[in-house]
């Protein structure tokens, strides 16, 4: 769509849809009264006709946002002449994400304040389902008027709301052919680097869901060719990198564009790496060179290694060549390198080899499998060496779980790295005889990550028969929420492997007079597994064990547990929206196609809401000692006052001291905050999502989630620019220090809140 057409849409929709600001109150007095009552319940405040004092109104809006009650955000606040009140009201509506707020969000999309516009667009982007074209037209109209104004020329401060960018990303969320056409037109006419970058990211949202047209691909590649050294050019490559695969006629141009971006110093060169991956085998040589380029950021080198691992056998061959070159540089295997972010690059290359490491990698793998293990020290250097040794030994063993390389890669016979290596080798072949015995021992490992990996594999190895079901039954009864969730997820993914032939089918099979068995014989749920599932569903889980509770509900439905409907009905009134979403799907799967689970109504007998913590008065720095590294996070209250206050309070209370960094994806994220060190746990209390339309750049900090409103105490630190995180996670601050050198398994030592 051309800018001229977008402007025409703007004029038509501004008149017909009433998009621009208005102080007129809604006609429904009943809705007004209901909103006042909800506001009073939500905030516990005496409000004067819905107006109240400025600070009281802000507090009431914050309470309404936290309780997810759009009716408690009064109409007067949504249209307030006080821009501060309007901003908080539209932010609350966008985060609550109830369909009833659409009319106000559309009206606020026409506000004169750019921040109000950005929040309104963000909220509208979440509610596109079933009305994509209608919503795209409204957003395109506003995009055109923003382009005509000075709003697009104002530099957005870090953490600020970029109105044109938010509108573009909302169009991308809505998607569809019309959304793609609008964005391609906007990219073609984008007057600034900022605008072009935002539109390219929006097109990436569409590219992740559908193949882009040749016209759109041409616009993207033309943008790269015109601006290879600028952000808009690199961002256009990001959109191409979100495709499943670059169409064959475009491969050569994409390769040239990616090489052009890689040749320029830029913090966005990683986008060229992802485009090379989607160009097929033609990009393998370039990816291999990228891994070994010392002028590239370690995050980009690690991303290139992971890309090779996703490209099948040819990519693994490329990774083998890269590994040989890296191992020849003996300095990379010395303690200083292993203590740096080079370790994660090397580990990413090892992981890219996959379970069937190409033979050309053997010589380098033997060097790594015999890597000297330094004396144990607080920096974790010995653990890093053992990790590399065991990864190399596993690749060389090719299924030999009892080979000397595997059994001796970890000096500690019960060490986690050694157990992971044995399990990986075991799973390469059928689990029978001695292999079954060894597997059952690892399924009871004291290392929770090893145990969960074994449980995940149970349903993929039907040869385990009764032994496999016994492992699942036992796992459902343990106290660790992550182990229980893993067992439930395994059952949900492969229910056919845990059900047994019904008694009637077994009797018929022995009766010569019975008809031949059908293609879909009746199946029964074994009583021991049914009992274990029922007991797990009935347990009182901690509030933040949402992933465990929903996994159990999904498993009950997958195997037709007799009381699954009762469990889903109870979950339908749960305070947490993610639990209710699973309950809705469960009820529909169980024969109620119209089932829905709305936000529970507030009743007089309901427990009073938890008080909101006082927000931080200013950005607060928390220092972390991880090994011998001095790292920090500055928690910022502007966008996420509740979450940032929670994390600082946990740090003051000593919660994070001794916590294990349980997840590191080289070049992507570092994640911690789970006392159980498997990603399923937290502090015990839930956090509502405080998501926002702001970007996640390198060293930004976000709240880890397992669905909407499922945050607790886990945070992640980004290691590069990853636009796919934008808008889906709450950004709570920024990190300082060399977080790229942190490795999975590192332990947090001292934690200090700097007042």
Question: What length does the chain have?
Answer: 755
DSSP states along 1-20: --HHHHHHHHHHHHHHS--S
Q: Choose one of 261, 276, 310: the last residue of a domain.
A: 261
Which whole number is the average pLDDT over 700-705? 97
The answer to whether residue 289 sits within a structural domain is no
User: Which of the listed residues 228, 261, 294 is the one where a domain comes to its end?
Assistant: 261
Residue range 341-390, pLDDT digits in tens: 999 999 999 999 998 899 999 999 999 999 999 887 777 899 999 999 99
Cα–Cα distances in Å, from 525 out to 560, 561, 565? 8, 8, 16
Torsion of CA 204, 205, 207, 210, to 10 degrees: -170
Rounded to whole angstroms, how far apart are CA atoms 717 and 545? 22
Residues 142/167, Cβ–Cβ less than 8 Å: yes
Count of domains for the chain: 2
- Alpha-carbon distance of 125 to 128, in angstroms, equals 6
- Give tens-digit pLDDT for 44-98: 433 444 445 567 899 999 999 998 999 999 999 999 999 999 999 999 999 998 8
Q: What is the pLDDT of residues 408-460, one digit of tens each?
A: 999 999 999 999 999 999 999 999 999 999 999 999 999 999 999 999 999 99
Give the confidence band of 99 by pLDDT, cuts at 50, 70, 90. Answer: confident
User: Does 210 reside within a domain?
Assistant: yes
CATH code, 7: 1.25.10.10
Instruction: Kindly state the tokens that stand for 524.
Output: 């029964």
Q: What is the CATH number of the domain that holds 726?
A: 2.40.100.10
User: What is the rounded distance in angstroms from the CA atom of residue 720 to the CA atom of residue 484?
Assistant: 33
Is 319 part of any domain?
A: no
Q: Single out the residue in 240, 261, 282 at which a domain terminates.
A: 261
Structural domain includes residue 226: yes
| Distance of alpha carbon 161 from the chain centroid | 21
In a domain, 208, yes or no: yes
Q: Is residue 172 part of a domain?
A: yes
Alpha-helical segments (H) within 208-341: 214-226, 231-241, 251-262, 270-277, 284-292, 298-309, 312-328, 335-338
Q: Which domain holds residue 229?
A: 3-261
What confidence tens digit (pLDDT) does each residue in 547-592 have?
A: 999 999 999 999 999 999 999 999 999 999 999 999 999 999 999 9
Give bridge partners of residue 672 from the DSSP assignment. Answer: 715
In a domain, 80, yes or no: yes
Does a structural domain hold residue 718? yes
């Amino acid at each position: 769509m051309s800018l001229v057409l977008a402007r025409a849409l703007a004029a038509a929709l501004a008149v017909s849809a009433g998009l621009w600001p208005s102080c007129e109150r809604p006609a429904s007095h009943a809705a007004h009264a209901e909103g006042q009552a909800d506001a009073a319940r939500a905030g516990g405040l005496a409000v004067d006709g819905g107006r109240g004092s400025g600070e009281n109104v802000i507090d009431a809006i914050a309470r309404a946002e936290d309780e997810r009650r759009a009716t408690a955000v009064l109409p007067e606040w949504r249209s307030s002449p006080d821009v501060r009140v309007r901003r908080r009201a539209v932010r609350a509506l966008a985060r609550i994400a109830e369909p009833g707020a659409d009319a106000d969000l559309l009206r606020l999309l026409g506000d004169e304040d750019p921040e109000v516009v950005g929040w309104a667009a963000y909220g509208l982007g979440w509610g596109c389902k079933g009305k994509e074209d209608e919503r795209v037209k409204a957003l395109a109209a506003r995009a055109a008027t923003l382009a005509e104004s000075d709003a697009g020329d104002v530099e957005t401060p870090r953490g600020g709301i970029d109105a044109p960018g938010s509108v573009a990303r909302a169009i991308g969320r809505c998607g569809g052919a019309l959304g793609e056409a609008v964005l391609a037109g906007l990219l073609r006419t984008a007057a600034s680097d900022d605008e072009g970058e935002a539109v390219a990211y929006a097109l990436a949202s569409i590219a992740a869901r559908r193949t882009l047209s040749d016209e759109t691909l041409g616009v993207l590649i033309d943008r790269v060719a015109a601006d290879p050294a600028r952000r808009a050019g690199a961002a256009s490559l990001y959109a191409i990198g979100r495709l499943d695969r670059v169409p064959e006629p475009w491969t050569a141009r994409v390769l040239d564009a990616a090489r052009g971006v890689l040749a320029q110093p830029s913090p966005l060169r990683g986008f060229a790496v992802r485009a090379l991956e989607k160009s097929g085998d033609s990009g393998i040589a370039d990816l291999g060179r990228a891994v070994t380029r010392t002028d590239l950021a370690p995050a980009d080198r690690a991303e290139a290694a992971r890309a090779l691992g996703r490209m099948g056998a040819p990519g693994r061959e490329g990774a083998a060549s890269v590994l040989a070159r890296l191992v020849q540089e003996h300095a990379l295997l010395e303690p200083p390198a292993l203590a740096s972010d080079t370790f994660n690059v090397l580990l990413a290359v090892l992981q890219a080899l996959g379970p069937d490491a190409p033979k050309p990698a053997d010589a380098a793998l033997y060097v790594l499998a015999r890597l000297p293990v330094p004396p144990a020290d607080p920096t974790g250097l010995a653990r890093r060496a053992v990790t590399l040794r065991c990864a190399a030994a596993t690749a060389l063993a090719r299924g030999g779980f009892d080979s000397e390389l595997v059994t001796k890669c970890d000096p500690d016979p019960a060490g986690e790295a050694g157990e992971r290596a044995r399990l990986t080798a075991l799973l390469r072949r059928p689990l029978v005889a001695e292999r079954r015995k060894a597997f059952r021992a690892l399924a009871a490992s004291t290392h929770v990550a090893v145990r969960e990996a074994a449980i995940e594999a149970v349903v993929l190895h039907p040869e385990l028969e009764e032994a496999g079901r016994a492992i699942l039954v036992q796992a459902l009864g343990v106290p660790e929420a992550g182990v229980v969730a893993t067992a439930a997820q395994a059952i949900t993914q492969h229910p056919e492997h845990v059900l047994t032939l019904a008694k009637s089918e077994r009797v018929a099979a022995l009766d010569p007079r019975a008809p031949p068995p059908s293609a879909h014989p009746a199946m029964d749920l074994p009583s021991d597994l049914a009992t274990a599932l029922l007991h797990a569903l009935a347990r009182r889980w901690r509030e933040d064990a949402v992933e465990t509770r929903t996994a159990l509900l999904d498993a009950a439905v997958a195997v037709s547990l007799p009381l699954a409907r009762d469990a889903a009905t109870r979950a339908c009134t749960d305070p947490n929206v993610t639990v209710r979403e699973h309950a809705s799907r469960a009820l529909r799967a169980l024969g109620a196609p119209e089932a829905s689970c709305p936000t529970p109504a507030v009743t007089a007998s309901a427990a009073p809401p938890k008080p909101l913590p006082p927000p931080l008065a200013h950005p607060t720095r928390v220092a972390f000692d991880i090994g011998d590294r001095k790292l920090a996070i500055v928690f910022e209250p502007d966008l996420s006052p509740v979450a940032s206050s929670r994390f600082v309070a946990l740090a003051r209370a000593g919660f994070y001291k001794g916590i294990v960094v349980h997840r590191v994806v080289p070049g992507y994220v570092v994640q911690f905050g789970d006392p159980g060190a498997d990603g399923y746990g937290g502090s015990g209390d839930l956090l509502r999502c405080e998501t926002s339309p702001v970007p996640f750049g390198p060293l930004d900090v976000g709240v880890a989630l397992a669905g909407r409103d499922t945050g607790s105490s886990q945070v992640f630190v980004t290691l590069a620019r990853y636009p796919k995180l934008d808008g889906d996670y709450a950004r709570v601050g920024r990190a300082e220090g060399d977080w790229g050198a942190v490795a999975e398994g590192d332990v947090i030592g001292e934690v200090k809140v700097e007042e």
